[in-house]
Amino acid sequence: MSWERIETKVKPIARSGHRMAIWKHFIVLFGGFVDVANYLNDVWLFSFDNYKWEQVEFPPHHQQPSPRSGFSFLPTPDGVVLHGGYYKDYIKGKRPIGIALDDTWFLKMSLERKEIKWEKRKKIGYAPSPSRSGCTMALWPAKGQGVMFGGVSDVDKDEEVLENDEDDGEDEDGQEEEEEDNEGNTDEDFKTSAADVAIVEETPALSKEELLALRARAQDFLGSTKDANRSLEDQLSTPLPGESLATFYARSKDYWAQKAHETSDNRGKLLRRDGFGLAEDRYATYKPILDEVEKILAEAGLDEEEMKRVGGSENAPGSSANRNRR
């Protein structure tokens, strides 16, 4: 066995922090950075047939991921899923700020170069949090899902220190940095840490019949939120239009802690964490309906604050507005 260097006239510029994935008989390369101020978002293909590089050119104004490094790049039968990443924002006269990304894209592949295109994926359910780079994803073919683990979430402590500042979670010697423990988190955070597992699915487009069914469920749900005879438990355990996961949990955390206590021996912070997990699952169940309700209200010309009033989230049990009136 021996190495053989492949020389090509056309090739990507030298870079670091990029990612590559195999699709059919191609290597797909995206992104990376050239130096501390130059991040990339170009796409290249390397053919196993002729051992040549070729850059994929997109039409003007084609929507595509912003320049980044340290992202996840997962090959699927139809293309490549991209999630997260990292870049540094440079503003003249100020120190650079490291920013972790949380967007998800799908590079729809084709043997016809002109048909290759980027598609931005909507967040369905509860997306991985906090934003991160350097995470790993693997394909679960039987379920058509990508399984994500780990990563690095940068934290600016002061003007002199930026923790986990490497774009892909590695130090200068290429060794992975050790994750800090989670002791510093407050009991109000309860977001999935960079050591949690998340599943990213390639969301299929809904058929016309499915869209109509979802619209009907959303209309029924919107009507039920105005029902004055709903039980207190139903009001506390159901997210409302315009509510984020954080807002939903904030007004119902005592309820979820009680539900967690019924099946868990944990106490204190661990019990509240269990309760947050229950609230998170509940919110994910309703998220498609909530998104559809927001579309209905937006079509009616309502802004975000009006959506909250119509949906009843301002007057929901445990809401800040309710507490202020007491």
Predicted local distance difference test score (pLDDT) of residue 116: 96
* Sequence-separated (6 or more) residues with CB below 8 Å from residue 35: none
DSSP code per residue over 75-98:
EETTEEEEEEEEEEE--TTS--EE
Is residue 278 within 8 A of residue 260, CB to CB? The reply is: yes
Length of the chain: 326
Instruction: Output the tens digit of pLDDT for each of the chain's 326 residues.
Output: 999 999 999 999 999 999 999 999 999 999 999 976 789 999 999 999 999 999 999 998 899 999 999 999 999 999 999 999 988 888 777 887 888 888 999 999 999 999 999 999 887 766 777 787 888 888 888 778 888 888 877 655 443 344 444 433 333 333 333 333 333 444 344 333 344 455 555 555 667 888 888 888 888 887 787 777 888 888 888 888 878 888 889 999 999 999 988 888 888 888 888 889 899 888 888 888 888 888 887 777 665 565 556 555 555 566 554 444 34
Scored b (16 or more CB within 10 A) or e, 249-269 reads bebbbebbbebbeeebeeeee
Print the SS3 string covering 111-149.
Answer: CCHHHCEEEEECCCCCCCCCCCECCEEEEECCCCEEEEE
CA distance 99 to 167: 10
In order of 122, 144, 146, the CA distances from 140 in angstroms are 20, 6, 6
